[in-house]
Amino acid sequence: MWSERLEMDLNAKLLDYSWGGAIIDNFAYNTTTPLNASAVQRSDFVSQAALFALQGRFLDALVPEETLYTVGFGINDNGQFSIAGGDIDIAINTYLTKLAELQAAGAKNILIHGMYTSHSFTTTLQSRIFAYLVDSHSQNSTNIAFVDLQPLFGAISANPSAFGYTGNATCLISATTIVGGCEEPDTSVFYIPGHPSMTTHGLINEYTQTVLRECAI
């Protein structure tokens, strides 16, 4: 939803290839790899990038220099890795490969959304991605912006009322029941665990635009 807010504020057209529960690469985790008969595959960066390459140019006459390519992975990857492990190098290499493919197709403006919480897995991932983007900027002048959401969510956690929150941190205790849920979801930081409320998506949009104005290189 934050991306839709950004679209409206920039008077842009949004081509959205995001998918709930998506990860970087199914082969990276024991819970999702096709090599494991009991694994359950998810939408991943590999399939999303392939779909974009197949149909994106037909949905809109994209001008790479005027297009903002936005990518955000990590939270679901950390979740799958936490369940049964996997190979972080596969995830990192796939992430870097797909970014390189976008650049090879002309992408000059890349926005990466980082995690809002810290985990050893995602910290390593994000460090490698950030280093790659900095190198891309120096090598071919790619415009980059890395939105680290931890400061925003840290500030919200420290003083939620300053951001307009008056309810529980999470409105619903799970995605499977409304029992015990709040009456005003937009006064909570999350609707369900890990899924920001409309209010929070609005703040993410504002924070993202601040990064684009003041921190992009």
pLDDT digits (tens, 9 = 90+) for 87-125: 999 999 999 999 999 999 889 999 999 999 888 888 899
Tell me what the pLDDT averaged over the chain comes to.
91
Cβ neighbours of 108 (radius 10 Å): 19
Of 195, 205, 215, give the one whose Cα is nearest residue 8.
205
Between CA 202 and CA 71 the distance in angstroms is: 18
Please report the pLDDT score of residue 153 as a whole number.
95
Average pLDDT over residues 151-173: 93
User: Which value, in Å, is the radius of gyration of the alpha carbons in the chain?
Assistant: 18
Query: Where do the structural domains in the chain lie, given as residue ranges?
Result: 2-148, 152-217
Angstrom CA distances, 178 to 114, 167, 169, 185, stand at 29, 15, 15, 11
- How far, in whole angstroms, is CA 148 from its chain's centroid? 10
Please state the pTM of the whole predicted model: 0.91
Of residues 55 and 79, the one with the higher pLDDT is: 79
**131, 211 Cβ separation under 8 angstroms:** no
Please report the pLDDT score of residue 57 as a whole number.
66
pLDDT band (50, 70, 90) for residue 18: confident
Residue 70 CB-half CA count within 13 A? 18
